[in-house]
Amino acid sequence: MGVETMEIMMTVIIYGVLFSYLLAGILYLVGNLKSKASLFKYALVLAVVGCVLHFALLVIRTLLTGMLPITNGSEFLLTFAWITVLIYLLLSYRYQIQAAGGVVMLLSALLVFVLVALTGGKLHAVSPLMPALKSPWLTVHVITAAVAYSAFTVAAGLAVIQFFPVGQGIREDYTNLMVKCGFALLSLSIVLGAIWAEQAWGQYWSWDPKETWALITWLIYAVYLHLYRSREWRSNYARWMVIIGFLLVMFTFFGVNYLLPGMHSYA
Amino acid sequence: MKTGLIVLVLIGVASAIGSALLPRTFYQTPVFKLLLFLLLLNMFLCTSNRIRLTVRLLLAAPTSKAWYRNLGILLLHLGIVLILIGGLMYSVYGQNERIHLSAGEQVDMQRVLDIEHPFTLQLDEFRIEFNEDGSPSQYISEVTILEEGQEVKQVAISVNHPLNYKGVKAYQYSFGFMINAEYVTEDGEEKSGSFVEGALLQPGGTERKVKIFKYIPNFNPAHGMNTVTLRPDNPRIIFSVYEGDKFLGVGAAAFNEPVEIDESVNVTFTGVEPYTVLEVKHDPGLPLVLTGGITLMLGVCLALLMAPGRKSNKDHQ
């Protein structure tokens, strides 16, 4: 297949993904506002279609580079957005959380939109890995980070909707479960990253902006988990912490990758 | 636990402010170190309490899910305590230095670090491997370890593959180039030497001086002073000429092409010689930090897997 055909195909798919997520999010929102549960079915179909197309994009990218799509900022964003949708779909299969579908799908659509805006839809460019990234730790460090970010995103989606009457049906321990998953994976990602940094740069912790902000994110969720466990702060306070934690996650990713210089500015 | 959470929040806020205002230096300040030390004290106490609680729970209900969850949370805290102690050991006993070596040069490690087992590191070769597009694919320092003049072994140190020998770790940190130049000195002698970027040459027979500005491996005027790729596809030496303080001009010389500085006064750049920069480190706290990291990871996984089971609200209906 020619490079141009590949480029066009990938662009078409990513816009398809964006459109599916956007429409799914809108249908979830309208379904909740107008109490039309029948719309959830269509929203779910669109979310699943988007998720499958999204997965196809990840597969194409993997075949193109010969590496999992986790080696630069754009690939990370693509993977992170996909896992977010996947977690939401898995969770909604078991638990009744359709009320949060709108927020989660719109957040995912926003992530894909940012990716399109940053890369101009050009996902076919391939460049070789720099020496520091050539390590078996890359895969585990980045995948755990992507799953952690996704879990925090779903947690924030649940927390936001719980402020509204429509979200009252969602139990608070689902949010808590998502934060626990995110926290565990972020812990793994930070430790694995430190092990890798020691091998690559000779220092397991050097207060590089990414490290510092990942730690700050980790700290706020640690405080949340302690307070939640001791039943001191639940409901509104706990929700605000989950939302602030998510904003920190976003800053750790976008702010540090694209604004602050450091060892993580690969994108 | 409250004190601990307050310390956590303080560390978070301090890190954020530090990262914005004083990146790098802030984390070395006594105030920040004190906060980390307070965290260590607090977590040491809370972990000791947790150990007692976990033992009591073990005696009461040894195989319950709750016990494993408690064990997980205990390991998670214990891991952080070990990491903090290991970090403290590094800040007290840790040493790190950077060494520059050209091919053939040796360094006596006991002169660099205060270590028990003396050995000598000799650089045999430093080389850069390239991808097809000219970007670097690996930086490799081939070294020989010598003890009392005897060769012990040969090792390749590259990015992500440090040397670990008798408590000393050496990492591929950076590299650079010395520039070889030939010219006739004021005494009329033919001089050929290796110079660092920025060196000033004073050839004989002229008032003019030559400043070796920079080595550019792949020169293209459109990229100015930046090399197109690190691969030496079109190497040039950027130099400038001065008379007194007056700047006369700048040029890009190819290797072995005599550059006329003044009437019948030439300087010839004959090539470059790469040198490696290794970061050498002795960190007695490293094994403890690694153990702590693994303990933390095990603990967090155990705590998550043993999280209280929840019934879905579909089941309720």
Chain A residues with CB under 8 Å of B15 CB are 207, 212, 215-216
* Mean pLDDT lowest among A120-124, A173-177, A203-207: A120-124
Spans of all domains in chain A: 1-128, 131-267
Q: How confident is the model at residue A262 (pLDDT cuts 50, 70, 90)?
A: low
Chain A, nearest residue to B310 by Cα: A173
Q: What is the pLDDT of residues A208-217, one digit of tens each?
A: 888 999 999 9
Say whether B27 and A127 touch across the interface (CB within 8 A).
no
pLDDT of the residue at B31: 86
Chain B residues with CB under 8 Å of A196 CB are 160
Mean pLDDT of chain B: 90
Q: Looking at the complex, report in whole angstroms how far the Cα of residue A85 sits from the nearest Cα belonging to chain B.
A: 20
Mean pLDDT of chain A: 89
Chain B residues with CB under 8 Å of A198 CB are 286
Q: What is the pLDDT of residues A131-171, one digit of tens each?
A: 988 899 999 999 999 999 999 999 999 999 988 888 777 88
B136 at interface of A, judged by CB pairs closer than 8 A:
yes
**Cα–Cα distance for residue pair B206/B243, rounded to 1 Å:** 9
Say whether B136 and A130 touch across the interface (CB within 8 A).
yes
**Cα–Cα distance for residue pair A30/A33, rounded to 1 Å:** 5
Q: What is the pLDDT of residues B238-297, one digit of tens each?
A: 999 999 889 999 999 999 999 998 888 899 999 999 999 999 999 999 999 999 999 999
Chain B, nearest residue to A217 by Cα: B12
pLDDT of the residue at B316: 39
The minimal CB distance from A95 to the residues B1, B296, B312 is found for: B312
**Cα–Cα distance for residue pair B288/B83, rounded to 1 Å:** 7
Question: Exposure of B94 by Cβ count < 10 A (0-12 exposed, 13-18 middle, 19+ buried)?
Answer: middle
Q: How confident is the model at residue B205 (pLDDT cuts 50, 70, 90)?
A: confident
Q: In the sheet where B106-108 sits, what is the strand order?
A: B106-108, B120-130, B136-147, B150-158
Higher-confidence residue of B84 and B5: namely: B84
3-state secondary structure of B25: coil
Residues 6+ apart with CB under 8 A from A90: none
Chain A residues with CB under 8 Å of B162 CB are 199, 202
B205 at interface of A, judged by CB pairs closer than 8 A:
no
Spans of all domains in chain B: 2-94+285-308, 106-167, 177-276
Say whether A200 and B312 touch across the interface (CB within 8 A).
no
Q: In this complex, how many residue pairs, one in chain A and one in chain B, have their CB atoms less than 8 Å apart?
A: 119
Quote the ipTM score: 0.91
Closest CA relative to residue A23, chosen from A112, A109, A94: A109
B286 at interface of A, judged by CB pairs closer than 8 A:
yes
pLDDT of the residue at B310: 53
Say whether A207 and B313 touch across the interface (CB within 8 A).
no
Cα angle for residues A246, A248, A253 (degrees, 5° grid): 100
Asked if A178 contacts B276 with a C-beta cutoff of 8 angstroms, the reply is: no
Asked if A256 contacts A73 with a C-beta cutoff of 8 angstroms, the reply is: no
pLDDT of the residue at B298: 97
pLDDT of the residue at B99: 95
**Cα–Cα distance for residue pair B115/B167, rounded to 1 Å:** 8
Q: What is the pLDDT of residues B103-153, one digit of tens each?
A: 999 999 999 999 988 999 999 999 999 999 999 999 999 999 999 989 999
Contacts 24+ apart (CB under 8 A), A62-65: A64/A6, A64/A124, A64/A126, A65/A126
Chain A residues with CB under 8 Å of B1 CB are 226, 230
pLDDT of the residue at B20: 77
Residue in the structure block whose two tokens are 């976008």: A254
Residue in the structure block whose two tokens are 């509104």: A236
Q: How confident is the model at residue B309 (pLDDT cuts 50, 70, 90)?
A: low
**Cα–Cα distance for residue pair B214/A48, rounded to 1 Å:** 56
Higher-confidence residue of A172 and B254: namely: B254
Measured N-to-C along each axis, helices A235-250 and A209-229 cross at an angle, to the nearest 10 degrees, of 170
**What is the tally of helices (H) and strands (E) in chain B?**
6, 14
* CA dist A54 → A18, A47, B314 (Å): 9, 10, 29
